[in-house]
């Protein structure tokens, strides 16, 4: 089983602690949502768990079947979708999907063509990403996380920029993730995590 463990994790920017004394054991096959108002530290915590940010204090461990995963190889285990992560906008959708699978393969049975279909963007396969609407770009970001072969899926504000139809699409796709995956969500919108049984308020770590 894949597990993320934090022991007394804290993150500080200059003199301000974003959070402190975070102790978690996050197991594959389960979903966890971190809630809290804007600016409360949800995104920072998710980026730290993803390995994109270092902690200021404490210990963060990744393990698979009780064997430690080197932090330098952790990125291979994670797919993340967030509004602040940029797409390569000079590429067409087809080019982006083909490029993406060279370093993060899609789940079995998925190809750039089938991913475009699941994104409801078959009509835009040959359009450059820079001409996509904000909602289309967000769907692409989510799709890269949903359809990649990654044991850990991290979604930060997943329905940002999505209209009602896009939110319904998100809710359908997120429920189709493998029960063996570890799903982490950062949100303050109940419709983004209503299916999640483990909800934690980041304000407890202030």
**Mean pLDDT calculated for residue range 96-107:** 95
Place of tokens 């108002």: 37
So what's the pLDDT on residue 71? 83
0.75 exceeded by pTM: yes
Judged by phi (left if over 0) then psi (alpha if -120 to 50, else beta), residue 41 lies in left
So what's the pLDDT on residue 72? 83
Q: Is the pLDDT of residue 201 over 90?
A: yes
Burial class (CB in 10 A: 0-12, 13-18, 19+), 15: exposed
- Do residues 186 and 34 lie in contact, with contact meaning Cβ atoms separated by under 8 Å? yes
Domains of the chain in start order, with CATH, are 2-205 (3.40.50.300)
| List of E strands, the chain | 2-13, 16-27, 31-35, 57-64, 67-68, 78-81, 152-156, 182-187, 198-201
So what's the pLDDT on residue 73? 85
Question: Could you tell me the sign of the dihedral formed by the alpha carbons of 15, 26, 141, 104, in that order?
Answer: positive
Residue pLDDT, tens place only, 141-183: 999 999 999 999 999 999 999 999 999 999 999 999 999 999 9
Query: Tokens at residue 37, please?
Result: 């108002």
Residue pLDDT, tens place only, 44-89: 999 999 999 999 999 999 998 889 998 888 988 999 999 999 999 9
- Do residues 20 and 205 lie in contact, with contact meaning Cβ atoms separated by under 8 Å? yes
The span from the CA of 205 to the CA of 92, in Å, is 42
Mean pLDDT score of the chain: 96
Residue pLDDT, tens place only, 24-45: 999 999 999 999 999 999 999 9
């Amino acid at each position: 089983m894949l597990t993320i463990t934090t022991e007394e994790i804290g993150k500080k920017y200059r003199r301000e602690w974003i959070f402190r004394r975070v102790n978690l054991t996050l197991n594959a096959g389960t979903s966890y949502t971190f809630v809290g108002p804007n600016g409360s530290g949800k995104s920072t915590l998710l980026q730290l768990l993803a390995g994109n940010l270092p902690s200021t204090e404490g210990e963060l461990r990744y393990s698979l079947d009780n064997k430690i995963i080197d932090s330098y190889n952790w990125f291979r285990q994670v797919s993340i979708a967030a509004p602040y992560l940029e797409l390569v906008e000079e590429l067409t959708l087809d080019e982006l999907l083909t490029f993406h699978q060279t370093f993060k393969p899609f789940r079995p049975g998925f190809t750039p063509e089938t991913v475009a279909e699941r994104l409801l963007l078959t009509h835009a396969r040959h359009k450059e990403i820079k001409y996509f609407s904000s909602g289309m770009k967000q769907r692409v970001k989510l799709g890269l996380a949903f359809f990649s072969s990654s044991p850990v899926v991290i979604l930060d504000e997943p329905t940002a920029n999505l209209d009602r139809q896009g939110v319904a699409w998100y809710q359908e796709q997120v429920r189709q993730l493998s029960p063996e995956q570890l799903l982490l969500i950062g949100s303050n919108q109940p419709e983004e995590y209503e299916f999640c049984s483990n909800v934690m308020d980041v304000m407890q770590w202030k």
